[in-house]
Amino acid sequence: MKRIFISLFFFAFMWTAAGADASPELLFVRWPANPDAVWYSFRIVPVTQHFGRKEMRPPIYEDGHVFRDSVMIEKEITDSYNGPGILCCQVKAIGLDGQSISAYSAPVPMEKAAQEMERYAPKIRVKYHEQNGTVLLYPAYSFVKIPHAVSYEVEITDEEPENPDGCEPSVHRISQGVVTIPELFDESPRQGTVWWRVRGLDENGGPVGVWSEAEKIVNDPAENWETGILGDSISHGGGRMSYSPADWPYNYAYYLDFPTINMSRSGDKTDDLLRRFDADVLPFHVRYLLIMGGTNNLRCGGTAEEVISDLEALQEKCRANDIKPVLLTIPPIAPDRIWKYYHQPTAENWKAEFDKVNGWIRTQTHIDTAAPFAMYEDMPENLAADGLHPDKEAKEKMGKIINEKFPEIRKKISETKIQK
209 and 102 co-located in one domain:
no
Distance CA(408)–CA(416), nearest Å, equals 12
Cα 123 to Cα 118, 200, 206, 268, 312, distances in angstroms: 10, 11, 19, 30, 44
Name the domain boundary from 187, 219, 251: 219
Q: How far apart are CA 262 and CA 102, in angstroms?
A: 34
63: domain range? 26-117
Same domain, 62 and 164: no
Q: Do residues 144 and 185 lie in contact, with contact meaning Cβ atoms separated by under 8 Å?
A: no
Provide the domain count of the chain.
3
Structural contact between residues 6 and 31, judged by C-beta atoms closer than 8 angstroms: yes
**In a structure prediction context, what are the per-residue pLDDT tens digits for the chain, which is 420 residues long?**
333 333 333 333 333 333 334 567 999 999 999 988 999 999 999 999 877 788 889 999 999 999 889 999 999 999 999 999 999 999 999 998 999 999 999 999 998 888 789 899 999 999 999 999 999 999 999 999 999 999 999 999 999 999 999 999 999 999 999 999 999 999 999 999 999 999 999 999 999 999 999 999 999 999 999 999 999 999 999 998 889 999 999 999 999 999 999 999 999 999 999 999 999 999 999 999 999 999 999 999 999 999 999 999 999 999 999 999 999 999 999 999 999 999 999 999 999 999 999 999 999 999 999 999 999 999 999 999 999 999 999 999 999 999 999 999 999 887 776 554
CATH number for the domain harbouring residue 38: 2.60.40
User: Edge to edge, what strands does the sheet with 26-30 contain?
Assistant: 12-13, 26-30, 70-74
Residue 9 lies in a domain: no
Q: Is residue 20 part of a domain?
A: no
What is the spatial distance between Cα 142 and Cα 181, in angstroms, rounded to a whole number?
9
Are 107 and 141 within one domain?
no
CATH number of 391's domain: 3.40.50.1110
- DSSP symbols for 389-404: S--HHHHHHHHHHHHH
Q: What is the pTM of this model?
A: 0.90
Beta strands, E only, 20-94: 26-30, 39-50, 53-56, 61-67, 70-74, 86-94
